[in-house]
Amino acid sequence: MNLNMQMKPKALGRISTKGLTQEEIQDIKFMKAAITQARKAYVLGEVPIGCVIVYEGKIIGRGYNRRNTDKTTLAHAEITAIKRAGKVIGDWRLEGCKLYVTLEPCQMCAGAIVQARIPEVIMAAENPKAGCAGSVLDILNNPGFNHQVQVKRGVLKDECAKMLKEFFVELRARNKAEKELKSSQGLDEN
Protein backbone atom coordinates (compact mmCIF):
# COMPACT_ATOMS: atom_id res chain seq x y z
CA MET A 1 0.00 0.00 0.00
CA ASN A 2 1.56 3.31 -1.09
CA LEU A 3 0.71 6.03 1.41
CA ASN A 4 2.88 8.56 -0.39
CA MET A 5 0.33 8.90 -3.18
CA GLN A 6 1.07 11.85 -5.41
CA MET A 7 -1.95 14.11 -5.48
CA LYS A 8 -2.30 14.97 -9.15
CA PRO A 9 -5.34 16.48 -10.87
CA LYS A 10 -6.55 15.19 -14.20
CA ALA A 11 -5.96 17.35 -17.26
CA LEU A 12 -8.56 19.88 -18.34
CA GLY A 13 -10.20 18.93 -21.63
CA ARG A 14 -10.57 21.24 -24.63
CA ILE A 15 -13.31 23.79 -24.39
CA SER A 16 -15.09 24.99 -27.50
CA THR A 17 -15.44 28.75 -27.84
CA LYS A 18 -17.62 28.56 -30.94
CA GLY A 19 -20.53 30.98 -30.74
CA LEU A 20 -19.26 32.72 -27.60
CA THR A 21 -18.88 36.45 -27.13
CA GLN A 22 -15.46 38.01 -26.69
CA GLU A 23 -16.25 38.57 -23.00
CA GLU A 24 -17.17 34.90 -22.54
CA ILE A 25 -13.94 33.83 -24.26
CA GLN A 26 -11.96 36.15 -21.94
CA ASP A 27 -13.75 34.71 -18.90
CA ILE A 28 -12.83 31.17 -19.98
CA LYS A 29 -9.21 32.20 -20.60
CA PHE A 30 -8.81 33.73 -17.15
CA MET A 31 -10.73 30.95 -15.38
CA LYS A 32 -8.32 28.48 -16.98
CA ALA A 33 -5.52 30.53 -15.39
CA ALA A 34 -7.31 30.22 -12.03
CA ILE A 35 -7.61 26.47 -12.60
CA THR A 36 -3.84 26.35 -13.21
CA GLN A 37 -3.42 27.89 -9.76
CA ALA A 38 -5.86 25.38 -8.25
CA ARG A 39 -3.81 22.55 -9.72
CA LYS A 40 -0.78 23.81 -7.78
CA ALA A 41 -2.78 23.47 -4.56
CA TYR A 42 -3.92 19.99 -5.58
CA VAL A 43 -0.34 18.81 -6.07
CA LEU A 44 0.50 20.06 -2.56
CA GLY A 45 -2.41 18.05 -1.14
CA GLU A 46 -4.37 21.25 -0.51
CA VAL A 47 -8.01 21.78 -1.44
CA PRO A 48 -7.69 22.84 -5.11
CA ILE A 49 -8.83 26.43 -5.14
CA GLY A 50 -7.18 28.95 -7.44
CA CYS A 51 -7.61 32.63 -8.16
CA VAL A 52 -6.35 35.28 -10.55
CA ILE A 53 -6.98 39.02 -10.59
CA VAL A 54 -7.10 40.79 -13.94
CA TYR A 55 -6.58 44.48 -14.65
CA GLU A 56 -6.84 45.92 -18.16
CA GLY A 57 -6.73 42.43 -19.68
CA LYS A 58 -3.60 41.29 -17.79
CA ILE A 59 -3.20 39.04 -14.77
CA ILE A 60 -1.74 41.10 -11.93
CA GLY A 61 -2.30 38.71 -9.02
CA ARG A 62 -2.33 34.94 -8.63
CA GLY A 63 -2.99 32.69 -5.67
CA TYR A 64 -3.86 29.17 -4.63
CA ASN A 65 -4.91 27.53 -1.41
CA ARG A 66 -1.97 26.88 0.97
CA ARG A 67 -3.63 26.69 4.40
CA ASN A 68 -2.05 23.39 5.48
CA THR A 69 1.27 24.09 3.78
CA ASP A 70 1.69 27.51 5.40
CA LYS A 71 -0.13 26.54 8.63
CA THR A 72 -2.40 29.58 8.52
CA THR A 73 -6.10 30.10 7.96
CA LEU A 74 -5.22 33.22 5.94
CA ALA A 75 -3.55 31.34 3.07
CA HIS A 76 -6.61 31.28 0.81
CA ALA A 77 -6.24 31.73 -2.95
CA GLU A 78 -8.17 35.01 -3.02
CA ILE A 79 -6.21 36.60 -0.15
CA THR A 80 -2.87 35.78 -1.79
CA ALA A 81 -4.04 37.11 -5.15
CA ILE A 82 -5.39 40.31 -3.56
CA LYS A 83 -2.07 40.94 -1.77
CA ARG A 84 -0.10 40.43 -4.98
CA ALA A 85 -2.43 42.56 -7.09
CA GLY A 86 -2.25 45.39 -4.56
CA LYS A 87 1.54 45.37 -4.78
CA VAL A 88 1.40 45.56 -8.59
CA ILE A 89 -1.11 48.41 -8.61
CA GLY A 90 0.47 50.12 -5.63
CA ASP A 91 -2.83 50.54 -3.81
CA TRP A 92 -5.14 48.51 -1.59
CA ARG A 93 -8.06 49.53 -3.79
CA LEU A 94 -8.41 47.17 -6.72
CA GLU A 95 -11.02 49.19 -8.57
CA GLY A 96 -11.22 48.24 -12.22
CA CYS A 97 -10.10 44.66 -11.53
CA LYS A 98 -11.87 41.35 -12.05
CA LEU A 99 -11.31 38.42 -9.70
CA TYR A 100 -11.61 34.89 -11.12
CA VAL A 101 -11.91 32.06 -8.60
CA THR A 102 -12.56 28.34 -8.97
CA LEU A 103 -14.82 28.08 -5.90
CA GLU A 104 -17.28 30.54 -4.38
CA PRO A 105 -15.46 32.68 -1.80
CA CYS A 106 -15.78 32.05 1.94
CA GLN A 107 -16.74 34.80 4.40
CA MET A 108 -13.13 35.93 4.92
CA CYS A 109 -12.36 36.16 1.21
CA ALA A 110 -15.72 37.76 0.37
CA GLY A 111 -15.00 40.40 3.02
CA ALA A 112 -11.54 41.03 1.59
CA ILE A 113 -13.03 41.37 -1.91
CA VAL A 114 -15.48 43.99 -0.66
CA GLN A 115 -12.75 45.81 1.28
CA ALA A 116 -10.46 45.83 -1.79
CA ARG A 117 -13.28 47.43 -3.81
CA ILE A 118 -13.06 44.74 -6.50
CA PRO A 119 -16.07 45.45 -8.75
CA GLU A 120 -16.53 41.99 -10.31
CA VAL A 121 -16.06 38.36 -9.29
CA ILE A 122 -16.28 35.53 -11.78
CA MET A 123 -16.59 32.19 -10.04
CA ALA A 124 -16.81 28.62 -11.21
CA ALA A 125 -18.27 26.18 -8.66
CA GLU A 126 -20.67 27.16 -5.92
CA ASN A 127 -19.93 26.30 -2.31
CA PRO A 128 -23.23 25.28 -0.66
CA LYS A 129 -21.60 24.73 2.76
CA ALA A 130 -19.49 27.89 3.11
CA GLY A 131 -20.04 30.15 0.10
CA CYS A 132 -20.55 33.83 0.80
CA ALA A 133 -21.41 35.04 -2.69
CA GLY A 134 -25.00 33.88 -2.34
CA SER A 135 -24.97 30.22 -1.24
CA VAL A 136 -24.89 30.60 2.57
CA LEU A 137 -24.54 34.37 2.84
CA ASP A 138 -24.25 37.11 0.27
CA ILE A 139 -21.49 39.32 1.61
CA LEU A 140 -20.59 40.51 -1.89
CA ASN A 141 -23.99 42.13 -2.40
CA ASN A 142 -24.97 43.16 1.11
CA PRO A 143 -26.65 46.56 0.79
CA GLY A 144 -25.40 47.49 4.26
CA PHE A 145 -21.82 47.74 2.96
CA ASN A 146 -20.47 50.74 1.07
CA HIS A 147 -19.42 48.54 -1.87
CA GLN A 148 -21.24 45.77 -3.71
CA VAL A 149 -19.72 43.33 -6.17
CA GLN A 150 -21.12 42.12 -9.48
CA VAL A 151 -20.98 38.30 -9.53
CA LYS A 152 -20.91 36.02 -12.54
CA ARG A 153 -21.42 32.34 -11.76
CA GLY A 154 -20.70 29.07 -13.48
CA VAL A 155 -17.70 29.81 -15.75
CA LEU A 156 -16.07 26.35 -16.19
CA LYS A 157 -18.18 25.18 -13.25
CA ASP A 158 -18.19 21.50 -14.25
CA GLU A 159 -14.40 21.34 -14.65
CA CYS A 160 -13.79 22.95 -11.26
CA ALA A 161 -16.43 20.89 -9.46
CA LYS A 162 -14.95 17.71 -10.97
CA MET A 163 -11.44 18.64 -9.78
CA LEU A 164 -12.74 19.26 -6.25
CA LYS A 165 -14.66 15.97 -6.23
CA GLU A 166 -11.62 14.01 -7.47
CA PHE A 167 -9.45 15.65 -4.82
CA PHE A 168 -11.77 14.67 -1.98
CA VAL A 169 -12.14 11.09 -3.26
CA GLU A 170 -8.32 10.77 -3.30
CA LEU A 171 -8.01 12.45 0.09
CA ARG A 172 -10.53 10.10 1.71
CA ALA A 173 -8.75 7.07 0.19
CA ARG A 174 -5.38 8.31 1.46
CA ASN A 175 -6.75 9.02 4.94
CA LYS A 176 -8.39 5.59 5.08
CA ALA A 177 -5.16 3.87 4.02
CA GLU A 178 -3.18 5.79 6.65
CA LYS A 179 -5.69 4.85 9.36
CA GLU A 180 -5.61 1.19 8.32
CA LEU A 181 -1.80 1.17 8.39
CA LYS A 182 -1.69 2.74 11.86
CA SER A 183 -4.27 0.25 13.07
CA SER A 184 -2.34 -2.72 11.66
CA GLN A 185 0.83 -1.46 13.37
CA GLY A 186 -0.95 -1.01 16.68
CA LEU A 187 -0.67 2.77 16.45
CA ASP A 188 -4.41 3.40 16.59
CA GLU A 189 -5.15 6.38 18.80
CA ASN A 190 -8.25 4.78 20.34
Q: Which residues are catalytic?
A: 78
CA distance 139 to 83: 20
Q: Is 97 assigned a ligand-binding role in the annotation?
A: no
Residues 7, 170: contact at Cβ < 8 Å? yes
Q: Are 131 and 153 in contact (CB under 8 A)?
A: no
10 Å Cβ neighbour count for 62? Answer: 19
Report CA torsion sign: 35, 91, 137, 71: positive
Q: What is the dihedral of CA 144, 150, 154, 159, to 10 degrees?
A: -100
CA distances from 59 to 41, 152, 172 (A): 19, 18, 34
* Count of C-beta atoms within a 10 Å radius of residue 56: 7
Instruction: Answer yes or no: is 106 a known binding residue.
Output: yes
- Which residues make up each annotated binding site? 76, 106, 109
- Which residues make up each annotated binding site for Zn(2+)? 76, 106, 109
